[in-house]
Chain A
Amino acid sequence: MGITSKPVVFAILSAVVILIGTTVTVFVPLFMPSTQPVSAAIKPYTAVELEGRDIYIREGCNNCHTQTVRPLRTEVLRYGEYSKAEEFAYDRPFLWGSRRTGPDLNRVGGKYPDAWHYKHMQSPQGMFEKSNMPPYGWLAKNRLDTTYSYKKTSILGYGYSENDVRQQIAQYHATVTDGTYSSKESRDQVTPPELRQELTEMDAMIAYLQKLGRDVKNLEATK
């Protein structure tokens, strides 16, 4: 075999061989709009939801929770409508996950009130004695950093102006700090007094969780 005495040719040939499957199954689909379709029914994350998503990423929640419901009978029974490609158009990175130590979260939005999440994140074992989820009460002790919120949404191409982002943050801030907020009692229980008038990381995380899967009904209506 001549090629085994020509290392550079061997390397080039290896690269060609590995790039064939790569091109067909990865590079070509990147340029096919059908791989990641976009629908007007699916809205991008607000700045606060996006900050929550970044905390979800930072804490590695994807290591235990998937975000893709498969089109299987028992799975749809357990979680709800199966996942559609359009729902992920604004997901960079994708967070489908690979292991369900905890349940899938793609349909968790709207399933429980905010109060449930405040209590559950503070102490999963307080709610479910035998749960193995780590507690995340400390997220309520961290003020939400929104320094880069606008930069983030503009990198992701969500089309918000700087003012939009400021308004989204102010609006969510007003919602959770309002005296009539329906989950006020639970929020106050987990949030230290000095942060009760501020947005915390826990607030953003819950905003993100409540967004998951909420647009799928609109998407189904357009089909």
Chain B
Amino acid sequence: MSEAGYNYRIVRGFAFSALFWLIIGLVVGLWIAFEMFNPALNLTPWLSFGRLRVVHTNGLGLGFGLAGIFATSYYILQRLTRVPLPFPRLAQAHLYLFNAAIALAAVSLFAGMNTTKEYAELEWPLDIGVVIFWVMFAVNVFGTLIKRREKQMYISLWYIIAMTVTIAILYIVNNLEIPVTLFKSYSIYSGANDANVEWWYGHNIVGFIFTVPILAMFYYFLPKATGLPIYSHRLSIISFWALIFAYLWTGAHHLMLTPLPEWIQTVAIAFSIFLIAPSWGSVVNGYYTLQGNWEQMRTNYLVKFFIAGITFYGLQTLQGPLQGLRTLNAFFHYTDWVVGHVHMGTMGWVTMIISASFYYMIPRITDTELYSIKLANSHFWLILVGQLTWTITMWIAGIQQGAMWKATNPDGSLMYNFLDTVTSLYPYYRLRFAAGVIYFIGILVFAWNLIMTVRQQPQQSEA
């Protein structure tokens, strides 16, 4: 190829790792969705809901999410700096270590080695593994940036830098723990402090894995796929700095009305509301980029993914701050509403953008055309319908449960016992499972399409 020896092997390796963990994570997701209305599936300790739920979240968050981010970051870095990866063997080692760590993570979580801190459940030896592969990644990120041949760093690179730095700080601070044995440790923080550190981490890991690098993809692949420049460079600068500044203040909105000091909760509410501005800065930038070219929604299959994706991001970043308000939080917190909220972000925004990025990237790195645009369209509609059915069902379930928890009789006593509020949700749980199946079929189509793409003969005509 004429492209100055860019390392695409690593991109491909991470992209297919992402697909693999995506499918595993979704199978586990379907399993636990079924357990929610039929506990008979809790067949063995290893398959009990309490253990499986963390396999689902870690498998998709760390396995699929991070692999997708690494794949696209290695691609974007090389393209935007116009230099090949400086340390290709390090990147290859990163790929192997990453997959080994995720596999061990899954096995250890199945076995109940679990710190309980959400999205940081891995025990300490695996935490060390994660830190090592993160450093390996960072060396290539900064190596590429320092050796770059393009003077200015484009928007996507800012987001990749911010992610690289912030995830390192978040992960290390939240996972400080004292080992008891190889498989067991205790957090160094206690009670309210542990909660505060954890949700500072938990909220920002969502921010800097499910937002920041996905925005890097959006800002790079949307103009690439459409041939249209980003609407406003200035707006992207303001959005970037405001976003990364404000994000870190907001973790405590996960701890509303708990014993955490009230001022930390109130500061978190204020900054959560502020976050709407930079989030929508990117949404507006995306929409205006298509100004005058909206026919691409029809003619360019990739645009559908990007625009639907950024729309879910926009809805997500409105819903999130509103849920943080004390009155609304008192009603919605601990219900399925929040589960619906999270899944609009992951099934809508994150997966849509990673899907489109892969569809753009994979044919180019393998010197071929996408196997089937028709299948890509089916994939789009299946995951859209699956996700919407899934999330709307959970919002309704959440409203119902929240209302039932609060309902009182005229004499002031509670109207429903707890079990009534659970069993009344089973119809929703069945529908959620069905929606998950539709979504999963969409993902299988996605995987099939990419596998068939790379199995085709390379075309010499494609540059």
Q: Which residues of A contact B (CB under 8 A)?
A: 1, 4-5, 7-8, 10-11, 14-15, 17-22, 24-26, 29-30, 32, 34-36, 54, 57-64, 66, 68, 70-72, 74-75, 77-78, 83-85, 87-103, 124-125, 128, 130-136, 138, 148, 151-152, 155-156
Contact = CB atoms under 8 A, between A and B. Distances in A.
12 contacts: A18-B162, A20-B248, A21-B246, A22-B248, A36-B190, A36-B192, A68-B258, A72-B257, A87-B191, A92-B190, A133-B39, A134-B42
A77 B49 CA distance: 28
Most buried by B among A14, A70, A89: A14
Nearest to B406: A74
B259 A18 contact: no
B187 A93 contact: yes
Q: Which 4 A-B pairs have the closest CB atoms?
A: A60-B50, A88-B191, A21-B248, A134-B42
B232 interface: no
A17 B237 CA distance: 14
A64 B50 contact: yes
Interface residues of B, number: 94
Contacts of A77: 408, 412-414
A125 B48 CA distance: 15
Given A11-B161, A94-B187, 11 more contacts: A18-B169, A18-B244, A18-B248, A36-B190, A58-B113, A68-B258, A74-B414, A75-B405, A94-B198, A132-B37, A132-B426
A59 B50 contact: yes
A95 to B, nearest CB: 6
A204 B386 CA distance: 43
B418 A78 contact: yes
B419 A98 contact: no
A64 B339 CA distance: 12
A22 B200 contact: yes
Most buried by A among B49, B145, B184: B49
B375 interface: no
Contact of A96 (B112, B142, B195): B195
B60 interface: no
Nearest to B194: A94
A70 B50 contact: no
Contacts of A124: 39
B423 A21 contact: no
Contacts of B50: 59-64, 134
B186 A11 contact: no
B165 A11 contact: yes
Contacts of A34: 261
B143 to A, nearest CB: 10
A57 B247 contact: no
Given A148-B180, A152-B186, A8 B246 contact: no
Contact of A18 (B180, B247, B412): B247
Contacts of B112: 58-60
A78 B39 CA distance: 25
Given A18-B245, A61-B50, A100 B251 contact: no
A135 to B, nearest CB: 7
Contacts of A30: 189, 193, 196-197
Contacts, number: 248
A35 B196 contact: yes
B268 interface: yes
Contacts of B198: 93-94
A155 B42 contact: no
Interface of B: 35-39, 42, 45, 48-51, 53-54, 112-118, 142, 145-146, 148, 151-153, 157-158, 161-162, 164-166, 169, 173, 178, 180-181, 184, 186-198, 200, 237, 241, 244-252, 254-255, 257-261, 264, 267-268, 271, 330, 334-336, 338-339, 405-408, 412-414, 418-419, 422-423, 426
Contact of A7 (B54, B161, B255): B161
B258 A148 contact: no
Nearest to A89: B191
Contacts of B54: 60, 63
A101 B118 CA distance: 16
B245 A85 contact: no
Most buried by A among B35, B190, B246: B190
A134 B49 contact: yes
A177 B455 CA distance: 66
Nearest to B81: A7
A101 B196 CA distance: 23
Contacts of A36: 190-193
Contacts of A78: 405, 414, 418
B47 to A, nearest CB: 9
Contacts of A5: 151-153
Given A25-B252, A62-B116, A94-B198, A148 B184 contact: yes
Nearest to A104: B334
A90 B35 CA distance: 33
Contacts of A29: 193, 196, 261, 264
Contacts of B249: 21, 24-25
A195 to B, nearest CB: 17
Given A5-B152, A36-B191, A77-B413, A25 B158 contact: no
